[in-house]
Amino acid sequence: MELCSINGLKGTITVPGDKSVSHRCIMFGSIANGITEVENFLKGADCRATIQCFRTLGIEIEENGSSVRIHGKGLHGLMPPTDILDVGNSGTTTRLLAGILAGQPFDSKLSGDASLNARPMKRIMEPLTQMGANISSILRNDCAPLYITPGKLHGIHYSSPVASAQVKSCILLAGLYADTETSVTEPSLSRNHTELMLREFGADLHSSHALDSTQATVSLNPGRELYGQRILVPGDISSAAYFIAAGLLVPDSEILIQNVGINPTRAGLLKVCEDMGADITLLNEHTQSGEPIADILVRTSTLHGTTIEGDIIPTLIDEIPIIAVMAAAAEGTTIIRDAAELKVKETDRIETITDNLLAMGCAVTATEDGIVIHGGRPLKGAVIHTLLDHRIAMAFSIAALIAKGNTQILDSKCVDVSYPQFYDTFEELL
């Protein structure tokens, strides 16, 4: 994909359904009793991998545009897979599905693409093993491919070293198949879609916050059946993030992004934008299927640097590539720290962000747990090495819009992972 600088992005757009919520609709719908109807489902490659895995586990899933109908078979209705479960590029599919498979009376194998099979799985293997699960790394490197055989699960109280919704959700899903209560404490609250949605499906689940620290605990009592739901998936704030940044950075722009999920465990980007001096207004705030939603109005703004650290990091972890682009265009220095998790995403995002910003002429330094960006220098067009990371492709496509000269995004097709229509949405704003 070849891009160059532009002016005046104007219009009203919607972004596709939330990726985290879409995955969970398929998973929870499959192990619930009866039909789950989903509207505005994200048809990105990651969520398609989740659909395919559950079909391989014997679940009928009908698709009609962005609507999906799942014929749930209850907690004990999955069938032994006839094939290895292909999780593609998706960490969420892998870790949440592993939690469900740990409770099944049959063997299963999970494997993904080269990026997925290099991501750490010890973080789920350890707690699942403590619960009595039989899960192993086939290559004995603590990564997928994973092999899971039946185990008798019991509840545990797990203190997670990382604030990770995938780890938390994996343990809670295994907890549905345990004989006693399971709880997970995390150092600060990660996205809570599992908690909100599992409760809607009928699970006996409670969340609490420590008064004297940022720690958050969620407990689940097994034994209750889940029941199919109707779910309207909110627009994905992680996808909206690119158009928020485009609206702020491209001169003479005004963009209204309708129907975006602004769950506080996901919306750290909005706080950072405010800290950087962005002109953003939330309109039409309401709740839909248990999730807070708003329309986001963005106008071109002069941004300044900020510091992003601590508890806000899990609420914007996937937005750091685009925040880094905003920081490169802002006046002054932006410091991002406490974000070592970036190293274990689809790529080492500390490295991919830093290398590509350097290529565009930005003064940037990678640190052990983040990035320091000295903004304000004009960006120049460059060849962007995405290393097949969808968020790097999208973030640097926005950088290209304010860079002098042409930018080439290598392997731009990887946007399919979370936002297949990404480049089409642009056309609507020209």
Ligand X SMILES: C=C(OP(=O)(O)O)C(=O)O
Does 216 sit near ligand S3P (CB under 6 A)? Answer: no
DSSP 8-state secondary structure symbol assigned to residue 131: T
Q: Does 90 bind ligand X (CB under 6 A)?
A: yes
164 marked among binding-site residues: yes
Instruction: Cite the beta strand spans of 201-331 per DSSP E.
Output: 204-209, 216-221, 230-232, 254-261, 279-288, 291-299, 307-308
Could you give the dihedral angle defined by the CA atoms of residues 205, 109, 343 and 42, in that order, rounded to the nearest 10 degrees?
Answer: -60
Across 199-213, b (16+ Cβ under 10 Å) vs e yields ebbbbebeeeeeeee
Centre a 10 Å sphere on the Cβ of residue 66 and count the other Cβ atoms it contains. Answer: 15
Quick check: 317 binds ligand S3P (CB under 6 A)?
yes
- Least distance to ligand X, CB of residue 73, Å: 25
Q: Which partner in ligand S3P, ligand X, none is near 416 (CB below 5 to 8 A by kind)? A: none
CB of 379 to ligand X, least distance (A): 23
**DSSP-derived secondary structure letter, 344:** G
Nearest residue (beta carbon) to ligand X: 91
Asked if residue 191 binds ligand S3P (CB under 6 A), the reply is yes
Q: Please tell me the distance from the alpha carbon of residue 328 to that of residue 363, in angstroms, as a whole number.
A: 8
**Partner in contact with 108, chosen from ligand X, ligand S3P, none, beta carbon below 5 to 8 Å by kind:** none
| Catalytic pick among 318, 338, 348, 355 | 318
- Percent of the chain as helix, strand, coil, to the nearest 5: 35, 30, 35
Helices (H), 81-192: 91-101, 122-130, 165-175
Q: Which does 391 bind (CB under 5 to 8 A by kind): ligand S3P, ligand X, none?
A: ligand X
Nearer to ligand X, 124 or 250 (CB): 124
How far apart (Å, rounded) are the C-alpha atoms in residues 419 and 421?
Answer: 6
Q: Catalytic site residue 46?
A: no
20 has binding-site annotation: yes
| Cα–Cα distances in angstroms (integers) from residue 201 to residues 57, 85, 137, 170, in the given order | 20, 25, 31, 17
Q: Which stretch binds ligand X (CB under 6 A): 85-93, 178-186, 207-215, 329-337?
A: 85-93
Residue 349 in marked binding region? yes
Please state the closest distance from residue 254 (CB atom) to ligand X, in A. Answer: 28
Selected range binding ligand S3P among 36-44, 62-70, 159-167, 376-384, rule: CB under 6 A: 159-167
Q: Which of 18, 195, 295, 318 binds ligand X (CB under 6 A)?
A: 318
Active-site residue numbers?
318
- Kindly list the residues in this chain that would bind ligand X in the complex (CB under 6 A): 46, 90-92, 318, 345-346, 391, 418
Residues marked as binding? 19-20, 24, 91, 119, 164, 166, 318, 345, 349, 391
